[in-house]
Amino acid sequence: MERAFKGIFAGAAALAVASVGTICLFLILEGAPAIGRIGFGEFLAGTSWRPSENVFAILPMLAGSGAITLGAALLGVPIGILTAVFLAAFCPKGLDRLVRPAVTLMAGIPSVVYGFFGLMTIVPLVRDVCGGRGMCILSASILLAMMILPTVIVVAEAALKAVPTTIYEGALALGATHERSIFAAVLPAAKSGVWAAVVLGIGRAVGETMAVIMVAGNQPLIPTSLLKGVRTLTTNVVLEMGYATDLHREALIATALVLFVLTLALNGGFSFLKRR
């Protein structure tokens, strides 16, 4: 029986690895030739995306994805980590029964619902307060910050609770207050898990599509202001894949390949920081 279950677990692990390998192979075989035909430098560093003229360059989408993801991280990560600290060390039991289900519910809300909320609430608010059309980097960043909160909170809280209680008790024994013990001893001890929460949250922001389509403006231009509309890598693929053919289709697959490489680089960077 033990050998049978070892085989089942090994098969499941092999299936997961094979799935990732298959996706990687497909993207390389379908996307790399397009990059070769367009030119590596032109594809990554060019500033125009005009399919009707066979001009394909993803720098505007790279910049748009980077700007929105950075904005979401700056807004969402501090709030998520502080919320995790509150739930792990400060939250009364009565309030915990309300906050924890709310966080879980946020994780289960479909992306299109977030997008509709952003379109009906965040976009008009940004337009009234800051001016412009409202469908811009700022609106998308605020919405994505809300969407990454459940991931950051759940993973960071689990990391904080995994810290041995002896670290907290040792800080108290040295005369630290409860708050100082948490922030000066427990939180640094959980930094590996907290980094994991940050990386997973950023990964969620990078890969989000439907909600961003509804609030970002979808303009394939290099962003020059928080109040300008942009297009991300994911939305570029979704918006045009339905009618793309020949080189246009290959260029969109190449865009997905770049997104895949960025995701691998993000996770690789996290692994490096974790080892350090």
Q: Assign 41 a pLDDT band (cuts: 50, 70, 90).
A: confident
Q: Which of 118-132, 143-157, 261-275 has the lowest mean pLDDT?
A: 261-275
Q: Label residue 276 by pLDDT band (50, 70, 90).
A: low
Structure confidence by residue, pLDDT tens digits, 191-220: 888 988 888 888 888 888 888 888 988 888
214 and 118 Cβ atoms separated by less than 8 Å: yes
Domain that holds residue 206: 2-275
The one-letter code for the residue type at 65 is S
Helix ranges restricted to H, the chain = 2-38, 40-45, 59-85, 93-108, 111-117, 123-130, 137-161, 165-173, 178-181, 187-189, 191-207, 210-215, 233-240, 246-275
**Are the C-beta atoms of 137 and 70 separated by less than 8 Å?**
no
Which pair of structure tokens corresponds to residue 245? 């053919």
Tell me the three-class secondary structure of 186-247, residue by residue: HHHHCHHHHHHHHHHHHHHHHHCCHHHHHHCECCCCCCCCCCCCECCHHHHHHHHCCCCCHH
- Residue 273: pLDDT band by 50, 70, 90 thresholds? low
* pLDDT in the model for residue 141: 93
Q: What per-residue confidence (pLDDT) applies to 148?
A: 92
Of 22 and 132, more confident: 22
In this structure, the number of other CB atoms found within 10 A of the CB of residue 50 comes to 10
Q: Domains in the chain: how many in total?
A: 1
Highest mean pLDDT among 238-247, 249-258, 263-272: 249-258
pTM of the model: 0.85
Average pLDDT of 134-145? Answer: 91
Q: Say which CATH number the domain at 88 has.
A: 1.10.3720.10
